[in-house]
Amino acid sequence: MNIIKTSNKINLKFTKSSPILFSCSSGYNFYTHNHSQINIFNKSRNIIRHIKSEELFYYIEFPTDFSNKIDLDFWIQIIRKPPNMHNFIWPSDIVQLPGSTNKSCPFALVFSVKSFSDYQNFHTIINNESNLDWQNIIIKKIIRNLLDTFIDFYRLNYAFHEFNINNISYQKNNLNILFDFSFSIQNLKNLYDKVIVNEKQINPDFADSYYYRVERSNYMDLASDYFSIASILFKLMIGRLPYQGSILDDVVNGNEKDHQNWIKTYHKNPIFIFDETDISNHIGDFSHEEIFYGKWMKLPNNIKKMFSEVFATKNVLRKTEKLIFYSPNEWKVALEPILNTN
């Protein structure tokens, strides 16, 4: 199998015997492929070529744990009416794969091949705790660009549901944000409309703890997205996740297996690290935690209030009548005064 790097010019050999893929959304689109792959954001993708235009595309199969009852009309509408967004990778077609590994859902979404060489994965920023500070000029610009991207997406009444740092990239020179596609996107107009999501694609670090409750059964809603946004903002501004407190001090978080156990403990104890009434998960008692506590104390009171409301145990577990989740636009308005200062 050929692995090729992303570039503006890609030369591939396609023969008459190359398999043909047929579009499910247009009778004019036919593709051929020779089992070559391209590297997109450190992920290997299968290359195909449009037979008529000879333009190159790549496709992504629907995940193996995806619902058996795929709504082709939903995906065809997404493709035929693409949103006017520059910061999201959006499918241009859907094809049926004769030899798909997912027998119950043998389809794949098709995407245009572009050059992403000037983008970096978001984890290079968010995993660097020493630079995460709401007073950092670069972090301020990242936050502003993130919120603008979120606002652009949600104005179209979509929910993303897969806030995995591997799905977020930023441009090196201007810090513009680019989101990879999510198979769990849904049209949602109401904050608490529930939909089944693709379980294996959800990043547990930023998902709300309510999602991991037994009664939730892989359902998410727009409020879940709003929690993830608040969690990402908190991580960027303070340097820790909202429940990454003293309860986790003795829990090993080394390799991937350790992290799975760590994250289970994390979601079983959704107690905000700066909760004013419950100090069981507080931080700040040790010297290495003073820096996080200091950044929190310097935040304007209205921002601290918003974080405290979203991350409150009863709120995130939906056990209070007055649920509080803030939209990206509400965060932008609240954060504008500190984002515009040097």
The predicted-structure confidence for 278-309, as pLDDT tens digits, reads as follows 999 998 766 678 899 999 999 999 999 999 99
Mean pLDDT confidence for 185-209: 81
User: What is the domain partition of the chain in residue ranges?
Assistant: 3-112, 119-339
Mean pLDDT confidence for 33-40: 81
Mean pLDDT confidence for 13-26: 75
CATH for the 119-339 domain, from 1.10.510.10, 1.10.10.350, 1.10.287.3510, 3.40.50.10380: 1.10.510.10
Higher local confidence (pLDDT), 167 or 111: 111
* Residue range 309-342, pLDDT digits in tens: 999 999 999 999 999 999 999 999 999 999 987 6
Q: Supply the pLDDT for residue 296.
A: 95
Tell me if domain 3-112 and domain 119-339 are identical in fold: no
Q: Supply the pLDDT for residue 98.
A: 76
CATH number for the region 3-112 comes to 3.30.200
Query: For every residue of the chain, which 3-state class applies, written as one string?
Result: CCEECCCCCCCCCCCCCCCEEEECCCCCCEEECCCCEEEECCEEEEEEEECCCCCEEEEEECCCCCCCCCCHHHHHHHHHCCCCCCCECCCCEEEECCCCCCCCCCEEEEEECCCCCCEEECHHHHCCHHHCCCCCHHHHHHHHHHHHHHHHHHCCCEECCCCCHHHEEEECCCCCEEECCCCCCEECCCCCCCEECCHHHCCCCCCCHHHHCHHHCCEECHHHHHHHHHHHHHHHHHCCCCCCCHHHCCCCCCCHHHHHHHHHHHHHCCCCCCCCCCCCCCCCCCHHHHHHHHHHHHCCHHHHHHHHHHHCHHHHCCCCCCCCCCCHHHHHHHHHHHHCCC
